[in-house]
Amino acid sequence: MITGEFRPSEKQAGDEVIGGTINGDGSLRVRVTATGDETALSGILRLVKKAQESKSDTQLLADKALALAASIEGDSEHTIARSIRAAAREKGLDDVRVSDFEAIKGHGVKAAWDGKTVYVGGPQLIESLGISPPDGLKAFINRTRQKGQTAVHLIVAGHWVASFTLADVVRPESKQAVRSLHDMDVQVAMLTGDSEAAAKTVTKELSIDRHFAEVLPQDEDRKVQELQKQGLSVAMVGDSVNDAPALIRADIGIAIGSGTDVAVESAGIILVKSNPLDAVKITSL
């Protein structure tokens, strides 16, 4: 049980045995020579703990990057920023001193660190900066896209130094909300700044009727107008600053209660419990 041997191991008088293993045929009399922290099992656990606490150079480098990105995102209220900060907290990483924070609408964020300009953002940011990923990151980014996940990149002094993968976790209430809206003959569209691959993955999982991907904040309300020009009445559900113009443009603006103040002020209806199913109740009402 302890050693993992696949066949019985013969023992003679005077041999050492390990507590927790099973005696086969015959009788066995043992003398206890170690207890508590001195047992073989405790020794194994100590080795495991030591291995877990020691980090390779690669892990240390990665931690320096999951910490710098989190510190730069410290003043951002974007969902991705909150996710990066949460990951850094889970790893027990210390904050890095940054200054001159600036949110770049629809692209990411910018700050100063150690005398260098640092950016954290997605594909639109990279496009605006006009830089290409190093060879080591190209395969990683391609895998991320194929899985429909979101890639966020760390750029330090014009150099692409790290990329992070984030994946949306679809809430069970969202699935039920889409199903219920379909039962009421209401079409469901998703408006997102995420990549086309990420949007397709969520659209398929939730059976959403249509999606608009890689939409910049200034274009969100234009997408609402496109639907309205098709003769459709549009109810927009949102929670961020970026959603505010679209919430105003929609026939009915519905804000998630836990969202930003700007979104809440821009909407006609507020979901106090932040539950997507309440959007169904509003539609029914």
Radius of gyration of the chain (CA): 27
pTM of the model: 0.53
Token digits of residue 222: 């234009």
Contact 191, 220 (CB under 8 A): yes
pLDDT over 90 (residue 178):
yes
In this predicted model, what pLDDT tens digit does every residue of 182-209 receive, in sequence order? Answer: 999 999 999 988 778 878 888 998 999 9
- Angle subtended by helix axes 79-90 and 57-72, to nearest 10: 140
In which residue ranges of the chain is CATH 3.40.1110.10 found?
A: 58-166
What is the domain class of 172-284 according to CATH? alpha beta
pLDDT for residue 208:
95
The first and second tokens of residue 78, run together, are 């974007």
| Reported confidence tier of residue 258, pLDDT bands at 50, 70, 90 | confident
Model confidence at 111, pLDDT cuts 50, 70, 90, reads very high
Q: Which residues contact 219 (CB under 8 A, 6 or more apart)?
A: none
Confidence of residue 264 (pLDDT cuts 50, 70, 90): confident
Of 236, 242, 233, nearest to 279 by C-alpha is 236
Who's near 6: CB < 8 A, 6+ residues apart? none
What confidence score (pLDDT) does residue 144 get?
83
Average pLDDT in the 124-136 region?
86
Look at residues 195, 283, 166, 270 and name the one whose alpha carbon lies nearest to residue 235.
Answer: 283
| Digit-coded pLDDT (tens) for 9-18 | 788 899 988 8
Could you read off the pLDDT of 66-93 as tens digits, one per residue? Answer: 799 999 888 787 888 888 999 999 989 9
d(C-alpha 8, C-alpha 108), whole Å: 61
Residue 119: strand pairing partners: 110, 155
Q: Where in the chain is the domain with CATH 3.40.50.1000?
A: 172-284
pLDDT in tens, 210-255: 999 988 877 888 999 999 999 999 999 988 777 888 888 999 999 8
Which residues in 99-115 are b (16+ Cβ under 10 Å) and which e?
eeeebeebbbbbbebee
How many other C-beta atoms can be found within 10 angstroms of the C-beta atom of residue 242?
A: 21
pLDDT at 148 over 90: no
CA distances from 174 to 148, 179, 203, 209, 274 (A): 18, 9, 11, 14, 11
What pLDDT, on a 0 to 100 scale, did the predictor assign at position 265? 84
| Ordered strands of the 99-104 beta sheet | 99-104, 108-113, 116-121, 150-156, 159-166
Say if residues 212 and 192 touch (Cβ distance below 8 Å): yes
* 93 within 8 A of 67, measured Cβ to Cβ: yes
Percent of the chain residues past pLDDT 70, beyond the cut: 98
Here the tokens at position 251 are 């026939």
Provide the pLDDT for residue 259.
Answer: 67
pLDDT at 209: 95
- Does the pLDDT of residue 7 top 90, yes or no? no
pLDDT number for residue 66? 74
CA distances to 39, 78, 108, 246 from 235, rounded to whole Å, are: 65, 22, 27, 10
Specify the CATH number for 58-166; select among 3.90.550.10, 3.90.1150.10, 3.40.50.2000, 3.40.1110.10.
3.40.1110.10
pLDDT band at 138 (very low <50, low <70, confident <90, very high): confident
